[in-house]
Structure 1
Amino acid sequence: MVNASDHLRVLAGPFARELLRSQGLHAEQISAVAGAAGGPKGLILGPLDQLIFGDWLAASGQSVALIGASIGCWRLAAACAPDPLQKLKAFSQAYIEQDYRIPEGRRRPDPAAVSASFADGLAVFFGDLSQAVLEHPRYRLHVVTARGNGALARAALAKPAVNPLGLSLAFSRAWLANAVSRTALGAHLERVVFSAPGLQSTRASAEVDTAAESSALETGFEAPFAQPVGFAEALFLGDYPTSQVRLDRSNWLDAMQASCSIPMVLDPVWDIKGAPKGPYWDGGLTDYHLRLNYRALEPGLVLYPHFIDRLIPGWLDKPWIWRHRAPAGLNNLVLLCPSKTWIARLPDARLPDRQDFVRFAHDPVARMRRWRVVVQQAELLAEAFERFIRDPGCIRVEPLAGARA
């Protein structure tokens, strides 16, 4: 029998922790699932995703928001497939088998070539799933992107392939602004969320978010369709400009590509249809670990399969440890992450990461082999979670660091 606590940790905000203590965890309690940016680290969540979407959550009946950035939105879009179990397995395989050749004399692959290859891969993987994703009867996919403005937009327009220094300097200025405050980053980047309407959006529903009207008055934003209760409050944090755009057949693959477009690694996606004009990059820039105001979705819980035990607000916040403390907005969050013991048993005792593409640039087969070992080991995380569902006492539910009611 799996010793669940050797592999999986469960952390929760105060509201969620009390609910787990008194009732355990049930699929019917979940109102949202979040998927963080983080590149190859997200591969360890494949077996957990397969359990959650292939069986456990599928047995419930409520509407669930799926909120993702970068690899997180790719995972959650796969979960909307008619056969989520098989599509999620295929996602892991497709991600592992990515191979971007480094031109002779260069340290990294050409961003334009990576972007073109990535776009082709998205089209092949998701091309026949538009209706399944956009009109899922229960799941609403929300794809988080970062739109560049000001100096960043001008630098991106000036052909970075010819003059990469200009874009690097523009991002350096954004980094310095963020070092002062997250609010200051709003002069350089803004959050744009592309939201699928879902099958329910065309029906009259008691779930319409009345808070969206007041949000529109305050921000000038009008929701593109009826929202679940509390969603506007969860999304509009007041940290920097935020827009929400309807995700549809004409823009959803562009939005997915944008959310995965790491600056200087891929080119930005320009002028996505239906959205404010400009360059769009990886959603992790503004919302690395999607630390939103989930408390607005209470009494529902937010389930968060993750690869570390904390939520870093934005990619540029990684050095600022004091920004990693959990705010009150995570009151109803349930976070699942691997234990140190589990990580210690991986190749090199570490999670896979984006630098593996560079480390194994001349031996991609070795990288793929190592990543497959990691995914195989991640089956233990799913087994531990399955046991926790049946027996909540098998894993001690820890408080999120700094979380307060």
Structure 2
Amino acid sequence: MDSPISIRLGARARQRIEREGLQAADIAIIPAAAGGPKGLILNGIDQWMFGEWLKQAPRQRRLIGASIGAWRMAAGAFHDPVAAHKRLAHHYAHQTYPDKVDAAYVSRVIRGLLDSVLDGRGEEMLANPDYLLSVITVRGIGPLANTGGSRWREMAGFLRAAAGNAVSRSRLAGAMERVVFHDSRDDAAWLRTSFDAFASHYVDLSEENLHSALLASGSIPLVLQAVSDIHGAPPGDYWDGGLIDYHLHLPYQRDEGLVLYPHFTDHIVPGWLDKSMPWRRARDSALENVILVSPSPSFVARLPNRKLPDRTDFKHYGQDHAARIRDWTYAIVESERMADALAQWAEKPDLHATQSF
């Protein structure tokens, strides 16, 4: 039977695993991509990874994510990560919206979703001795500075930003900056030396800004309202971190450890606006210590509609919320097969069953 997972290895990761095998203690960084409902397909792996495997070898690890990826990594840093990941999957899958909805309404729903996931215990994540959380957001500048809540200004600004990005990714840096909200115990040194065209700011996470940072990280332009003036951060409007860091193409090679990257696809796209540009997929030295785990094509083919859950499902199912929730819940349950396959591979890695970047 075909495996439910596909695994890609960077050159350094392959050499190390071939020489030493794979131990939980090897894992130094866990990234998590933006991608909305697609992240639900990683729920089984998240529960196994945080609830079982990594607990075998406690150590400080960096968890870094954008949008739903940031929410997943936040859930992983709870004292009971399995319960937190179950809460996240349940409340995310059970979102419902009326037929006509504005950005303010969606923001209220997502704010409530985060309240349910955090469960009033955000301080647990910030004090976890083993996990250092980083939440990636985007701050508007240039045409996206001071939109004042105007949908038309926001739309015009993002149209200009998209046009610039179509020419080159560096043009996008004229419209937005990366703002990383990170654990105050982590200096984020591996990110601070410039690695792309975007200006970056680093802000300590605290109980005062945790909720706002997580909300901003998932605030899709024109779908949700911008989050403004976050405590401790530069003033301005903040949006979804996936705009710059969709699949988190970050300088992982700067860390001596390995990077375990559960992902919903087998490649890394730098920014959300690069999705339709296959020539921009990451294939560089940043991935040399990365283990990328994703659902296999045969696994996806057995899911409802032969695809992962995604945002188009809200339109596809319309007001038939029960059908969408049923199919998303089926995908979440099926994700346990991915976790079982990864657990078996981690115990006895078969390099012949992997691909390279």
Instruction: Give 2:14's match in structure 1, choosing from 2, 17, 40.
Output: 17
On the 8 A contact 2:87/2:116 being kept in 1, the answer is no
**Cα deviation per residue 1:165-189 (whole Å; 9 max; x = unaligned)?**
x322221110111122221111101
Q: Which residue of 2 aligns with 1:128?
A: 120
On the 8 A contact 1:10/1:395 being kept in 2, the answer is no
| Other structure's SS at 2:51 match | helix
Cα 1:57/1:363, change in 2 over 3 Å: same
The CA deviation at 1:125 is 2.4
* Aligned pairs for 1:287-326 within 5 A: 287-298=245-256, 300-326=257-283
On the 8 A contact 1:229/1:297 being kept in 2, the answer is no
| Other structure's SS at 1:56 match | helix
| Other structure's SS at 1:174 match | helix
Q: Which residue of 2 aligns with 1:102?
A: 99
Counterpart amino acid of residue 151 in structure 1:
P
**What CA distance in whole angstroms lies between the structure 1 residues aligned with 2:120 and 2:108?**
19
Instruction: Give 2:199's match in structure 1, choosing from 241, 245, 267.
Output: 241
On the 8 A contact 1:146/1:285 being kept in 2, the answer is yes
The CA deviation at 1:127 is 4.0
**Cα deviation per residue 1:196-216 (whole Å; 9 max; x = unaligned)?**
22xxx3xxxxxxxxxxxxxxx
Instruction: Give 1:361's match in structure 2, choosing from 309, 318, 321.
Output: 318
Q: Which residue of 1 aligns with 2:173?
A: 186
Q: Which residue of 1 aligns with 2:103?
A: 111
Highest Rg: 1 or 2?
1
TM-score (norm 1): 0.85
On the 8 A contact 1:47/1:379 being kept in 2, the answer is yes
The CA deviation at 1:101 is 1.6
* Aligned pairs for 1:154-303 within 5 A: 154=146, 156-157=147-148, 159-160=150-151, 164=152, 166-197=153-184, 201=185, 226-227=186-187, 230-233=190-193, 236-298=194-256, 300-303=257-260
Q: Which residue of 1 aligns with 2:37?
A: 40
Cα 1:229/1:395, change in 2 over 3 Å: farther
| Other structure's SS at 2:202 match | strand
Cα 1:81/1:32, change in 2 over 3 Å: same
The CA deviation at 1:230 is 3.4
On the 8 A contact 1:36/1:68 being kept in 2, the answer is yes
Counterpart amino acid of residue 156 in structure 2:
L
The CA deviation at 1:397 is 2.1
Q: Which residue of 1 aligns with 2:81?
A: 84
On the 8 A contact 2:218/2:240 being kept in 1, the answer is yes
The CA deviation at 1:327 is 1.2
On the 8 A contact 1:231/1:297 being kept in 2, the answer is no
The CA deviation at 1:359 is 1.6
The question of 1:344 aligning with 2:301 is answered yes
**What CA distance in whole angstroms lies between the structure 2 residues aligned with 1:391 and 1:142?**
31
**What CA distance in whole angstroms lies between the structure 2 residues aligned with 1:393 and 1:321?**
29
| Other structure's SS at 1:392 match | coil
Counterpart amino acid of residue 167 in structure 2:
V
The CA deviation at 1:365 is 0.8
| Other structure's SS at 2:216 match | helix
**What CA distance in whole angstroms lies between the structure 2 residues aligned with 1:191 and 1:361?**
34
The CA deviation at 1:239 is 1.7
Counterpart amino acid of residue 169 in structure 2:
R
More off after superposition, 389-398 vs 180-189: 389-398
**What CA distance in whole angstroms lies between the structure 2 residues aligned with 1:112 and 1:144?**
22
On the 8 A contact 1:17/1:397 being kept in 2, the answer is no
Counterpart amino acid of residue 287 in structure 1:
D
Could you list the structure 1 runs, at least 4 aligned residues long, displaced by more than 6 angstroms after superposition. none
The CA deviation at 1:361 is 2.3
* Aligned pairs for 1:370-389 within 5 A: 370-389=327-346
The CA deviation at 1:98 is 0.9
Paired positions, count = 357
On the 8 A contact 1:81/1:87 being kept in 2, the answer is yes
| Other structure's SS at 1:98 match | coil
**What CA distance in whole angstroms lies between the structure 1 residues aligned with 2:89 and 2:183?**
23
- Unmatched 5+ residue regions in structure 1? 104-108, 202-225, 401-405
| Other structure's SS at 2:178 match | strand
Q: Which residue of 1 aligns with 2:67?
A: 70
- Unmatched 5+ residue regions in structure 2? none
**What CA distance in whole angstroms lies between the structure 1 residues aligned with 2:266 and 2:86?**
25
**Cα deviation per residue 1:361-380 (whole Å; 9 max; x = unaligned)?**
21111100000111111111
**What CA distance in whole angstroms lies between the structure 2 residues aligned with 1:359 and 1:177?**
31
**What CA distance in whole angstroms lies between the structure 1 residues aligned with 2:149 and 2:94?**
32
**Cα deviation per residue 1:240-287 (whole Å; 9 max; x = unaligned)?**
111110010111100000000001110010011111111100000010
Q: Which residue of 2 aligns with 1:222?
A: none
**Cα deviation per residue 1:34-67 (whole Å; 9 max; x = unaligned)?**
0100000000000000000001001112210000
**What CA distance in whole angstroms lies between the structure 2 residues aligned with 1:273 and 1:83?**
27
